[in-house]
Amino acid sequence: MSLTDNAIKVLENRYLSRDEEGNITETPEEMFRRVAHAIAQADLKYFNEEEVKKTEDEFYNMMTKLEFLPNSPTLMNAGRPLGQLSACFVLPIDDSMEAIFEAIKNAALIHKSGGGTGFSFSKIRPAGSVVKSTGGVASGPISFMKVFNSATEAVKQGGTRRGANMGILRVDHPDIRAFITCKHDNKEITNFNISIGITEKFMEAVENDTEYDIVNPKNNRVVKKERAREVFNLIVENAWNNGEPGIIFLDRINMTNTVPGAGEIESTNPCGEQPLLPYEACNLGSINLVELLKEDGLSFDYEKISQTVHRAIHFLDNVIDVNVYPHPMITERTKATRKVGLGLMGWADALFSMRIPYNSQEAVELGRSLMRYIDSESKKASMNLAQIKGVFPYYDKSIFKERDILIRNATTTTIAPTGTLSIIAGVSSGVEPVFALSFIRNVMDEELVEGNPIFEQYMENEELFSVELMKRIANEGTLHHIEEINDDIKRIFVTAHDISPEWHIKMQAVFQEYTDNAVSKTVNLRKEATRDDVRDVFLQAYSLGCKGVTMYRDGSRNLQVLSVGKSSEKKRKLEPKERPEVTTGFTQKVKIGCGNLYITVNYDENGKICEVFTNTGRAGGCPSQSEATSRLVSIALRSGMDTKVIVEQLKGIRCPSTIRQKGLKVLSCPDAIGRLIEKVDKMNNNAETGAATLGTGIVESTVTVSSSAICPECGESVEHEGGCMICRHCGYSKCG
């Protein structure tokens, strides 16, 4: 196999099997053999062992050649005891306490198994409604969404990352204004992406500047009217503020629902590309377009694409049968519709290879014809499977009569964000443009320059390549200001911020034309983008037939995407400063599950927290673990890491000894440490005045907020994709 250093690092950190001591027990090739063998076993019901072994080898070769990769849970869990292979689920939430907490329980099980969850909160009665059974007052959907968020915080997803959620509320719900603004503060509801469920009636009212009905979901009665443009402008304002909420066109999604008899689609998975019925799961995978180019790299090998698509659909359909689902209803519903979602990655890199600018009509037309071909071949593959294995149980002949087909899967195509998968494959993500042509990594005492491989090869062929030039490109974030690079090169090798929002949406729309489900795509806006720019993005997405849209304005979050521009701050080497000779601090006694914990948080003369000490009382506890935690936190603080990032990692960690006792105010020793750091930080820092209150006096301090996000695991910069942050260096990701 040909894997990059980053790919190997990601596989070792997140995918390869380990023993009880945490030692890696398989190579990447062995991982792919494990997956191929497990997925091929679904064919034993239809073929003999020799044919199944042949299929296993085809699956193995397809993955080791990086022509196709399935979603992360399949790579992680196929052939292993957990056996949960799906990435995305949608769970229903009805308007009762029992239903709400049943959904929370099911979501926790899904997150534990490595999946993400989508919810519609639209059936929950609005805040302030009377609850007849108790005589009380309903708290509304947003308060319950915060409960879901806290539960997610407590569950690590597959032992590697926190779970991710999508929260959707219909635009005609009485609490819609509160929902639109519920993530105005970046620290709120951090484990959710949120989207507004937009209806056709609402968009017509926006266009005509008229009012629309607000409906109480408890009794379906119109309770008031809202001016559509006011609500739309509120959505625009908050999306401009920090990228949330996104919008989902619910009526448009249901118009293409291939199993309408099974119910109405109300929600999507966390990144928005997979609309699903309640209790449905979907298995996703992506073909790698770079590996499907002809040898000269100037055009696609359509014969090879066809072969790969047929094998990939076979693979994904098999996943449905070998999957170990986390709930009986999910098993029943998923096998009834047999939805799969084949997408692609490496689109921007393929365009680079073919010398076609992303922001050109030529690229748009190529995208349309390519996706038309992939979708058509995926249907042929599903029809072939139906001849052997039968149609999906919810098959409705009237839905497919225009094409007169018998088909195995209710859907076959989805374009997902490919995050860590594209790192493994060594290509650009999904249908996104490349974010940066060059970036700098700090390894030990050396700055290493890494460039986009296709761009780097082109520069070498043109005898333009040099390390210094690549550093300049990394610092500038674009080719525009590099004088020695001619306009033709600048026209071809464009990055996300070189591309106007109009072209982002055009590209998403042409892929949507021939995609059953939806397309995950982030419209990247420069920091200077206006609210009108955001409004235009939403309206263009609606007019061009997209099923939803997510946008992100550079610099609009504290923990944000990689910013274009100078890299000295965002690429700093993390080295701990010397401990100050004199510190000031607070010591707090905290009752934990196994006794008392004494925590000391110290800060320097500028009010910057620089160290943490812990000591346990006579009752015992875990002194070594508490000391280890405090030492690592101290090093991180003196290395310049944002206290908010540290607090986010510590707060919410639970300890069994704490859970077993009532009346405790903390969940664990790390949780207690995180809470005190947060308390001291709030007391010392005032973001608006720059003043820090230190006990009896006020000391002036300078608060520096970097415009780029730093990965909390490896210290490198991260990118933004489909409502999630992704580190292309170590594979860390966080949605919400």
Residue 483 designated active-site: no
Burial of residue 660 (number of CB atoms within 10 Å: 0-12, 13-18, 19+): exposed
Task: Identify how many contiguous H helices and E strands the chain contains and give both numbers.
Answer: 24, 28
* Annotated active-site residue in 106, 269, 524, 684: 269
Reported as type and span, the H/E element at residue 150 is helix 141-154
Burial call 374-397: b when 16+ CB within 10 Å, e when fewer: bbebbbbbbbebbeebebbebbee
Between the two ends of the chain, the Cα-to-Cα distance in Å is: 34
Residue 620: HSE in the Cβ half-sphere, 13 Å Cα cutoff = 4
In angstroms, the CA 1 to CA 31 distance is 12
Contact 339, 269 (CB under 8 A): no
Q: Which residue has the tokens 């006020």?
A: 698
Residue 727 designated active-site: no
Reported as type and span, the H/E element at residue 29 is helix 28-40
Residue 669 designated active-site: no
Sheet containing 595-603: order of strands: 584-592, 595-603, 609-616
Q: Quick one: the chain helix, strand, coil %, rounded to 5? A: 40, 20, 40
Using CA atoms, how far residue 207 sits from 152, 213, 248, 542, in Å, is 38, 15, 17, 11
* Annotated active-site residue in 273, 291, 450, 648: 273
In angstroms, the CA 271 to CA 166 distance is 7
Using CA atoms, how far residue 427 sits from 246, 421, 510, in Å, is 26, 9, 21
Reported as type and span, the H/E element at residue 55 is helix 49-64
Identify the CA nearest to 348 among candidates 259, 442, 257, 429: 429
Number of Cβ atoms within 10 Å of the Cβ of 675 = 19
* Annotated active-site residue in 106, 193, 238, 271: 271
Q: Which residue has the tokens 């607090």?
A: 647
User: In the 8-state DSSP scheme, what is residue 705?
Assistant: -
- Residues noted as catalytic: 269, 271, 273
